Amino acid sequence: MSTTATLAWREFRFQRRMFWRNPTAAFFTFVLPVFFLILIATVFSLKQSDLNQLVPGIAGMAVMSATFVSLTYNLVFIREQGILKRIRGTPEPMGSYFGGVISNSIWNAILQVVIIVVLGHVFYSVPWPQDWIELVVITVIGVAAFASLGIAMAQAIPNFDSAPAYVNAIFLPMLFISGTFYSTDHLPRAIAAIASALPLKHIIDGLYGALVSGKGLEHHVPAILVLLGWCAIGLFLAVRYFRWE
């Protein structure tokens, strides 16, 4: 194993320890999506068809919160604290550092999806994935898209105090127009068009296809193309405008 890869693995392990030592981060990353799932499914006494829509929606929300939201907050915080500047002055390769940080968020997102899928099957009779390949592909591309967008978003935020306003201005509206909690079939045409241009709806649709309909990846080619497009945009903006201090 190369030195860069070895250091990235050590950075990943360090990030895991730091994550679990922060109960607030662990709560919002793992407990909050599960709380939403249980609360909505219980309070509204949803029909099976609604539960089949809710579980992929919550899984999509978990992907976004574990990557986009988490990376944005973390990068703004360590930049404003001067940590990024100090890291740049160390011998550790930047690829190792960011590899560990991003891998930590990716691992959280994957664990989240697994937890939501298991809970959905055990407690709400949502079937096991009908297409495992589609589940993996959509999750991986969705994680890559939101991770790159999270790094890019961090560059647009001037300080940590304003980070919640910036993040929630994107996160919350996207949740409600992308079919996280309900089907988007009856959305007004203009709002549906906006949702179709954003990545979260396509992640949810892909996860619904993998968990419920089992139509296969060939029925989600447009969704995959949209997600790859957002991934490319996020990578370009992240590289072009990245700030160390």
* Tens of pLDDT, residues 87-115: 777 777 777 877 888 888 888 888 888 88
pLDDT recorded at residue 164: 86
Q: Is the pLDDT of residue 65 over 80?
A: yes
Can you give the residue range of the structural domain that contains 210?
Answer: 3-241
pLDDT recorded at residue 229: 92
pTM of the full structure: 0.86
What is the rounded average pLDDT of the residues 37-47?
Answer: 79
228 HSE (CA, 13 A, CB side): 7
Asked which of 50-59, 66-75, 87-96, 109-118 is least confident by mean pLDDT, the reply is 87-96
Closest CA to 203 of 151, 139, 110: 139
pLDDT recorded at residue 228: 92
* CA quadruple 6, 9, 11, 14: dihedral sign: negative
Q: How far apart are CA 235 and CA 116, in angstroms?
A: 28
Q: Chain-wide mean pLDDT for the chain?
A: 83
Q: How confident is the model at residue 232 (pLDDT cuts 50, 70, 90)?
A: very high
pLDDT tens by residue, 139-173: 888 988 999 999 899 888 888 888 888 888 988 88
pLDDT recorded at residue 128: 86
pLDDT tens by residue, 12-22: 788 788 777 77
6 HSE (CA, 13 A, CB side): 3
User: How many separate domains does the chain show?
Assistant: 1
